Structure 1
Amino acid sequence: MDVIALIESINAILWGPVMLLFLVGTGVLFTLRLRFLQIRKLKLAFTETFGGLFSKRKAPDEDGISSFQALTTAIAAQVGTGNLAGVATAVAAGGPGAVFWMWVSGFFGMGTIFAEAILAQLHTERVDGEVTGGPAYYIKKGLGSPFLASFFAITIIVALGFMGNMVQSSSIAESVDMAFDIPNVVTGVVIAILVGLIIVGGIKRIASFTEKLVPVMAGFYIVGSLIIIIMHRENIIPAFQMIFHGAFNPTAATGGVIGVSIRESFRYGIARGLFSNEAGMGSTPHAHAVAKVKHPAQQGLVSFMGVVIDTGVVCTLTALVILTTGSFSSGLFGAQLTQEGFNIGFGNFGTTFIAICLFFFSLSTIISWYYFGEANVKYLAGKKGISFYRAAVLIFIVIGTTINAEVVWELADTFNALMIIPNLIALIGMVSLVIKVANDYESNFLHHKPSKYEK
């Protein structure tokens, strides 16, 4: 058995039905215990997120970043190649009905990500004068397990900081080479330089960068997708019919074009949805931990919007481009399927459009994933480990553009699964604390009464 086959067999176990049910089940648990907070407080979440968008905000400093900057840093990680390649893979392997199950995973994922943000807010520490936090901190302080905390820290550094960022740089290099015929290694060096210039400024510069890039990046892709969908508007209603019908009768939904079962539709929809919005994975809490808010639940509500934007908007638009243009029946797979949809809509410019989107999506993900890894380097070794980690990340970025990414993809999946396990154990172990904070927010803070958790 070769190395790839061995890793694939391990991932088949790690990412099997048990893991998917573990992830979705955690979301269901919090949704029920929070009494469907993602529905009851969605309007309030929107207000918390965008209400003060144009008001003067404090600049990021050692005490943290603004709530909106925390969200854009989280979205920078969430909106990436998974929105282009992941959605296409789900549709190709699970049929149009997989999109419905992606929505289901996003809905319950809102409950999980709310809990992650609250726990991250409650368990921050100052490391060499700077506020930092994340699952390693709430696993150690809240769950009381230093071993699981260190295990999480190591796996996320490898999964995101090294393997994950190699995958991202590889995706950028391949798309740039296809669109502009630029050698991969040249693209890798340019990416490393750009990333280095940003991350050397720490969370202050990272937050300022994502705050400016993410709205433009998402807006560019959303507008492009809407143009294509409107161009094929006669297929919008049939596309939604395929999604809903395909969720429970996949083969009939496409007239037999894609021969899949309900099980495959569910599996790929749930899996790709969770990979995209990262709910329960333990990545985005690093950004939400350092948000400067008066009550932890405020950032919990803001974290909702990351899932809404990622799964509810960007993933949905990608799926509709694929379905309305008919590219889903082309026989292509992964990012090529999305590429085909944009080529049908924009002609030759479709290749350039996707290359530009992939560049900014992946660049923003690299920067956020770097920061998430940095928070765990601080946990393990303090600030003295950051210089080595920073240099290693930049080297891995360049290496990622020069090697076959298949092994790296598989290793990234392995370490992703390993980091999820301690995070979910902590979330389930501290469900009562999350409920107490949420109830305090609704009963006291919102009514201007004395609040136990108000900062």
Structure 2
Amino acid sequence: MDVMNIVKQINDVLWGPVMLFFLLGTGVLFTLKLRFIQVRKFKYVWKETFGGVFKKTAKADEDGISSFQALTTAIAAQVGTGNLAGVATALASGGPGAIFWMWVSGFLGMGTIFAEAVLAQTHTEKVDGELTGGPAYYIKKGLGNKYLAGFFAISIVLALGFMGNMVQSNSISDAVHTAFNIPNIVTGIVVAAIVGLIIIGGISRIASFTEKIVPVMAGLYIVGALVIVIANYNQILPAFQMIFHSAFNPMAATGGFLGSTVKASFRYGVARGLFSNEAGMGSTPHAHAIAKVKHPAQQGLVAIMGVIIDTGIVCTLTALVILTTGSFTTGFTGAQLTQEAFISGLGRFGSPFIAVCLFFFALSTIISWYYFGEANIKYIFGKKGITLYRILVLIFVIVGTTMQVDIVWELADTFNGLMVIPNLIALLGLVSLVVRTTNDYESKLEEGHFND
């Protein structure tokens, strides 16, 4: 029995046109129902995200974390290997037009992720004295379906906590080995040690870590990418012309592209965009659920900023680096294509630069995904299941650096798909609650309730 082939066939169905239609359709629904809140309230998206960054905020404790810490914990999960490998794969398989459709999915995904954050905020629970939340909680309390909630909880623990983190640690070890010739197992032990030191401190230490590391790692990558793009400034306009032209016009199979139809551009752009920003996936609501805010919609607006940073900035810069350096003609795909583009733009510093960025991208993702899994371990077993879960996560992190992860990638995709289904059912079933909560926020905003 060819297990790999069976899993691939399952994923072809799970992540086929039907899933993409429902993910994108959910974004369309919330964008319309909320009257393009990502545009109307952009001023408040910015204000809620950065307005209090430099103010003294309450420390993370059993009653939650700051709004900004919730955002950085979410971004730590969103900005990861997908921003490097996923964008390159979309370009190689769907042509430059895939980037346009990635932007479209990101724009619509802002409506979805707003709804996820609002629902997570309105359905939190104290588990053994600690505030927690996420889709399992709003599926159980909002939809009243504990079986669907349990199915989601099990799926996300397997998809992110275990298999997904194996993939992340493998990406780190491969990049470090390529750049610095350090044995994979050594990298795995070091990564596991760092992760262990952070997660043993619970959400307080996790939030403190992401609050500090996410702005630095994102800033480092953005500066490096901008240096390359600006150095190739004469190719910026042609790059955007390629993106918009090929989004609606088939491209011949020339250069580094496989030959991209409009259908392929749409499919790969939408898929990679949604996978990267995780809108509708049910992962980031775990962080937004426990943010200390006065109104659920405030955290919904902050969640929108996560998509802007992930898809609008980081993914776009990755695409521009690949296009302006001409690296798309090399025939490479995935992380190898992105690495080639940075080597072309930064010379011998390109490979170690990507290795360092990938290290922090994947490390922060491991820590956030660990926490998302922990929230669901609490849902299933309470706090008594956390110690064993932590040990297993660290083992999976080490093992992931020593193996070929093709089957692990496929299994992670399978359980990702399985956890999306109950989350989408809950989102569609609780549309009216999201709308009512948003209307309540807007009326209170007009009355000046949030002026401080």
The verdict on a shared fold, with TM-score over 0.5 as the criterion, is yes
1:14-51 Cα offsets, whole Å, 9 max, x none, are: 00000000000000000000000000001111011001
Distance 1:62 1:298 in 2: 20
TM-score under structure 2 length normalisation: 0.98
2:2 maps to 2
Going from structure 1 to structure 2, the CA distance change for 1:448 and 1:163 (only over 3 Å counts) comes to: same
Q: CA deviation at 1:250?
A: 3.6
1:149 maps to 149
Q: CA deviation at 1:200?
A: 0.2
Q: CA deviation at 1:445?
A: 3.8
Q: 1:246, 1:252 within 8 Å by CA — same for their partners in 2?
A: no
1:399 maps to 399
Report the secondary structure of 1:61's partner residue.
coil
Amino acid of the structure 2 residue aligned with 1:191: V
1:397-440 Cα offsets, whole Å, 9 max, x none, are: 00100111100000000000000000000000000000000001
TM-score under structure 1 length normalisation: 0.97
Q: 2:48, 2:302 within 8 Å by CA — same for their partners in 1?
A: yes
Report the secondary structure of 2:382's partner residue.
helix
Amino acid of the structure 2 residue aligned with 1:302: V
Amino acid of the structure 2 residue aligned with 1:43: K
Distance 1:114 1:12 in 2: 28
Percent identity of the aligned residues? 73
1:220 maps to 220
After superposition, where does 1:92-103 map in structure 2 within 5 Å?
92-103=92-103
2:437 maps to 437
1:373-419 Cα offsets, whole Å, 9 max, x none, are: 00000000000000000000000000100111100000000000000
Distance 1:103 1:448 in 2: 34
Distance 1:236 1:63 in 2: 47
Unaligned runs of 5+ in 1: none
2:113 maps to 113
Report the secondary structure of 1:118's partner residue.
helix
Q: 1:242, 1:253 within 8 Å by CA — same for their partners in 2?
A: no
Q: CA deviation at 1:257?
A: 5.1
Unaligned runs of 5+ in 2: none
Distance 1:51 1:447 in 2: 19
Amino acid of the structure 1 residue aligned with 2:130: E
Distance 1:305 1:139 in 2: 25
Report the secondary structure of 2:62's partner residue.
coil
Amino acid of the structure 1 residue aligned with 2:141: K
Distance 2:208 2:222 in 1: 22
Q: 1:58, 1:66 within 8 Å by CA — same for their partners in 2?
A: yes
Q: 2:250, 2:261 within 8 Å by CA — same for their partners in 1?
A: yes
Going from structure 1 to structure 2, the CA distance change for 1:285 and 1:325 (only over 3 Å counts) comes to: same
After superposition, where does 1:255-266 map in structure 2 within 5 Å?
258-266=258-266
Distance 1:255 1:348 in 2: 24
Q: Is 2:385 the counterpart of 1:388?
A: no
Report the secondary structure of 1:279's partner residue.
coil
Q: 2:255, 2:328 within 8 Å by CA — same for their partners in 1?
A: no
Going from structure 1 to structure 2, the CA distance change for 1:415 and 1:257 (only over 3 Å counts) comes to: closer
1:76-96 Cα offsets, whole Å, 9 max, x none, are: 000000000000000000000
Amino acid of the structure 2 residue aligned with 1:30: F
1:351 maps to 351
2:311 maps to 311
Report the secondary structure of 2:390's partner residue.
helix
1:36 maps to 36
Amino acid of the structure 1 residue aligned with 2:159: A
After superposition, where does 1:19-418 map in structure 2 within 5 Å?
19-251=19-251, 258-418=258-418
Q: CA deviation at 1:444?
A: 2.2
Going from structure 1 to structure 2, the CA distance change for 1:255 and 1:166 (only over 3 Å counts) comes to: closer
- Give RMSD over aligned pairs: 1.2
Q: 1:251, 1:258 within 8 Å by CA — same for their partners in 2?
A: no
